[in-house]
Structure 1
Amino acid sequence: MKNHCKTAIIFRLSSIILVMLFTVICDVRVLAAEPPVTNRTELLADSKNFLPVGDLSKQSLVIITPSTKKYEAFIRQADRYAPMSAFSFASLGSVVKQSQVILVVAERSELRSDILSRLRTYAAKGQTIVFCEIGGNSYSLPAGLTDNMIHLSNPAKTKAAQRDLAMSVFGGLPITSGKNKRAQTRLQYDDGQVKSWGLDVVKMTRKIDAIADEAMKEQAAPGMVVMIVKNGAVLLEKAYGFHTYAKSERTTSNDIFDLASVSKITATTPLMMHLYETKQVQLDSTLGFYLPAARRSNKSKTSIRTVLLHEGGFEPYIPFYRDLKSGDVQRAASTTHGVQMADHAFLRNGYYEQIMWPKMLASPIKDAGKYVYSDISMYAMKEVAEKVTNEGIEPYLQKWLYGRIGMQTTGYNPRKRFPKNRLVPTENDTTFRKELLQGYVHDQGAAMANGVAGHAGLFASANDLAIYGQMLLNRGTYGGVRYFQPATVDLFTSRQSLTSRRGLGFDRYDMDASKAYPSQLANESVYGHTGFTGTCLWIDPKNQLVYIFLSNRVYPDVSNKLYDLNIRSRIQDAVYETINETR
């Protein structure tokens, strides 16, 4: 036992030294598409260095334009970065008056005198005016605008020019023309530029199409979304199939999926990283230190580090729904049953606090120190986070991360925020909730915890995961905002275990090549996670790559065909094959 402890200490010190060396040697990654793309947009005036737009939670934005139809390309592109409304000059309302940043998208000749007058009024009240000029050929502001306004101009009048202007505003493209340069700080979406990289994206897409078609033909899943980001630019973002085998609702790239265990690395783990970095949580402190209820349990002395590594000896899974008694669940909401688990399934209030959490604390510990993947671990991490912050994990994440970075769809209980047809259905649950689940978390335990759990419950679109993945690739920064120090990202995402491939919260590449995990051609830098519903997010620092796969393979009931056909890994390898062909 003493020898094992010494070995563990040596491994821990070695890991810390390697992380420190990596942090010193590697500069913070600056987003840059390679090779640099051509952007004819010029920044002609920005006296306060406002652009590119930074922390999205600090400003409300709105677009005004002569025609929302004519400038739809700009509007759609801007919407990839931040939530905002768009109004034509003919229908300006109170929303514009209340917005902190007004993006004016127009040709110079379209700025009527009454609009110029309104813009001066808005500016006088402290609102930031950004004039995005289409077809500009002058270096001066239009007569009637004031010097404190921001002015961008693109000489073309094409849809591509509109997209470039929008990306320039938000840092999706670097501004390289003219005197005022700006760096790329967010994802670039103009995939037309990547053809010059030497990557055969067309060939790669054909391979992925064939694998996706096979998955749908074999009914491994009725539909899916694949998104590939390399060097800060989107190589592929494509939706396949339908929400169900009835083929009544096509899958789209902005659909929202149940992430299942990908929640572990997009909700609970980043929050624990934040609490560690801000010294609110220590990795070698114990559950008993943070949770009074745990002090009377066999988990009192289990460290946070051990829990994040899944080495606490906790049970992998507890089927709480099997212990429900008559009257615990009813078909309609009431004053006593307010925990909604599906359209017509309501659990009695307080069930999680009174039954589930105490049962987890009382559950046995077996083989502590060995790697046993456990959902109970992340239930516990959520409890620690909420105790330390004195706030629910959901509102905290929305304020600290999702709202600031532009993850517009990410969150728990999406039926409260989005129309049902944007939410991809999962299982037709015939045993527990007895109905098709759409917008309610598939995991039974998470559903019984009011949809908010540390191990599951999060929903998101592929675009949101791409933003999050790129932030981690940048080692903690995105959109000009730093969310983590590089050393924190390196620590949590690198291998931290003597007994497994795991990082802290993150899954990783398996050193045993025979397992081909997460794929045959992946490398030792890769980290991320998979999800039971048929999802995955893998991040590859060596290749500056983010790979996202979202599906509902559990529709209409749980099937292993996605695993048997190795769909996720084969698509990942199709990307690696494309990269390797250039070497």
Structure 2
Amino acid sequence: MHRVRHPVRRRPRHPGGSGALSTPRLRIDTPERAGLDPAQLRRVVEDVHALTSGADPWAAGAVVAVGRGPVLAVEEAAGWAVRYASYDPRTGRGVELPAGSRVPMTAGTPFDLASLTKLFTAVAAVQQIERGTLGIDAAVGAYLPDFRGAAAHGVTVRQLLTHTSGLRPELPLYDYADDAARLARLRAEQPVGVPGTYCYSDLNMLLLQHLLERLTGRTLDVLVHEGITRPLGMTATRFGPCPGAAATEDQRRPWAKADRGMLRGVVHDENAWALGGVAGHAGLFSTGRDLAIFCRALLGGGAYGPARILGSDFVELLFTEPGLGFALDQPWFMGELAGRGAAGHTGFTGTMLVLDPATDTFAVLLANTVHPCRRPPDNGPRAALGTRLARAVRAI
């Protein structure tokens, strides 16, 4: 089993979540001022427009944000937030809306973050570890004894955060009649793999959500708002509904797991929807600018402006192999940025963020690749963005 290589040390919380010193906030400026090669960043902008163009684009629309240090050097929107009225399974194509009814993408368009939500759940958990109210190697059963499956197998908090609990990837909770039945099913779920073996699972973050809510007496949406988004000034980041968001899927069986029609502003993930829209693995909506702030705060050792959401030791803990919630050094979506401790995640709806402490850089790519219908994932554009950013740093 993977282990974090340094001990977890309790660190005093700064009063009101603020640090003793203010750190620089993001500002929009040129690539040169950011210490990035403008030619590579021009290609980033060209790429995002190419990805959203044509009859069968990679995504209907997208927003990309790239920066280094306190400088946001690229913030570009392309394509459409809403392009299709429905999906036609006979042709395998979307049914286009009339030109006047389409909604153009803007830099401020919110997106369904899908699994990027896991990063916020992980930060909320590490905040409790920093406070000393949660033990990273404590048994989940010590906090959730009624979750019999995990308790009987000695699943730990660390295993939930590192996807090494042995829990299966997902359960069809959306097929159960009500919340009581869904909760009973989740409580009874036992690991199907050997604890300590990696298996990416939404269930890890669902159990972590229940643990945090039991521990604090507050729901996950409140924990994320009070502990992360409000202090950082991420005013566009919240759990749904989010009426102005980019559209996602015309969600119908057999290609989807539920019959809900064209989705916009409500969570795409069927389990998160069945659970009321607030879930540890999915449900958050956000913008490119807000996620750039989130990246900047983590690259700044947990501080942004006068606010501090984590001590620097605990940000380091998030990014220590194999990563707590965050994936580390994954070339399949980070490209050439992987290799020196880059951290990030992707989301099923077409989202990605990656940050690289070694170069103090970050990239956010938000796209509605599932509009109008889900398709096999193509991670090439995500990896290409990471590669362009890595080359932009090396060229200076």
Query: TM-score by structure 1 length?
Result: 0.59
TM-superposed CA distance for 1:453, in Å, is: 0.3
Shift of 1:292: 2.8
- Work out the CA distance in 2 between the residues paired with 1:197 and 1:442: 35
Q: From 540, 543, 553, give the equivalent of 2:356.
A: 540
Q: 2:80 corresponds to which residue?
A: 242
Instruction: Give the superposition deviation at 1:408.
Output: 0.3
Letter in 2 for 1:429: Q
- Equivalent pair of 1:225/1:550 in contact (CA under 8 Å): yes
Tell me the alpha carbon deviations over residues 536-578 of structure 1, each in whole angstroms, 9 at most, x when there is no partner: 1111001101110001101100023633xx1111122112222
RMSD: 2.4
Picking from 238, 241, 255, the partner of 2:109 is 255
Quote how far apart the aligned CAs of 1:401 are.
2.2
Paired residue secondary structure (2:62)? strand
Alpha-carbon spacing, 1:250–1:290, altered in 2? closer, same or farther (3 Å): same
Is 1:423 the counterpart of 2:220? The answer is no
Residue 276 of structure 1: CA displacement? 0.4
CA contact (8 A) 2:112 2:284 kept: yes
SS in structure 2 of the partner of residue 212 of structure 1: helix
For the residue of structure 2 that corresponds to 1:401, the secondary structure is helix
Asked if structure 2 preserves the Cα contact closer than 8 Å seen for 1:298 and 1:362, the reply is no
- Picking from 262, 268, 275, the partner of 2:128 is 275
CA distance in 1, matches of 2:155, 2:22: 45
- Paired amino acid for 1:236: V
Match of 2:90 in 1: none
Q: Does 1:507 align with 2:327?
A: yes
Q: Distance in 2 between matches of 1:473 and 1:410?
A: 19
Gaps of 5+ in 1: 1-7, 21-53, 59-181, 329-350, 496-501
Which of residues 193, 203, 225 is equivalent to 2:63? 225
Pair 1:436-2:262 in alignment: yes
Identity of aligned residues (%): 28
Matched to 1:377, the amino acid is N
State the match for 2:88 in structure 1: none
> Is 2:334–2:387's contact at 8 Å kept on the other side of the alignment?
no
Q: Is the strand fraction higher in 1 or 2? A: 2
Residues 234, 293 of structure 2: 8 Å contact kept: yes
Residue in structure 2 matched with residue 405 of structure 1 by the alignment? 232
Q: Is the 8 A contact 1:533 1:552 kept in 2?
A: yes
What's the counterpart of residue 567 of structure 1? 381
Output the amino acid matched with 2:328.
R
Compared CA separation, residues 516 and 439, structure 1 to 2 (3 A): closer
Distance 2:364 2:339 in 1: 17
CA distance in 1, matches of 2:368, 2:152: 35
Distance 1:467 1:440 in 2: 24
Asked if residue 464 in structure 1 is aligned to residue 317 in structure 2, the reply is: no
Could you tell me which residue of structure 1 aligns to residue 219 of structure 2?
Answer: 392
Q: 1:361, CA displacement in angstroms?
A: 2.7
List alignment gaps of at least 5 residues for structure 2. Answer: 10-14, 84-96
Q: Secondary structure at the match of 1:280?
A: coil
Contact 1:309 1:371 in 2 (8 A): yes
Change (3 A) 1:581 1:567: same
Q: What do the CA deviations read for 1:326-385 (whole angstroms, capped 9, x no partner)?
A: xx5xxxxxxxxxxxxxxxxxxxxxx23x11222123234222221000000000000000
Tell whether the 8 Å contact from 2:241 to 2:267 is kept in structure 1 after alignment.
Answer: no
Secondary structure at 1:224 match in 2: strand
Whole-angstrom CA distance in 2 between matches of 1:373 and 1:387: 24
Give the distance between the partners of 1:409 and 1:197, measured in 2 at CA: 25
Question: Larger Cα Rg: Structure 1 or Structure 2?
Answer: 1
Asked if the contact 2:139–2:151 (Cα under 8 Å) also holds between the matched residues in 1, the reply is: no
Does structure 1 conserve the Cα–Cα contact (< 8 Å) formed by 2:333 and 2:382?
A: no
Helix, strand or coil at the partner of 1:357? helix
Task: Assess, with a 3 A threshold, how the Cα gap between structure 1 residues 429 and 183 changes in structure 2: closer, same or farther.
Answer: closer
Correspondences of 1:190-229 after superposition (within 5 Å)? 191-192=29-30, 194-195=31-32, 199-201=36-38, 203-216=39-52, 217=54, 218-229=56-67
Aligned to 1:188: 27
Greater RCO between the two (CA within 8 Å, min separation 6)? 2
**Which shows bigger deviation, 368-377 or 292-301?**
292-301
Q: Helix, strand or coil: the match of 1:228?
A: strand
Question: Alignment partner for residue 555 of structure 1, among 353, 367, 371?
Answer: 371
2:252 is matched by which residue type in structure 1? Answer: T
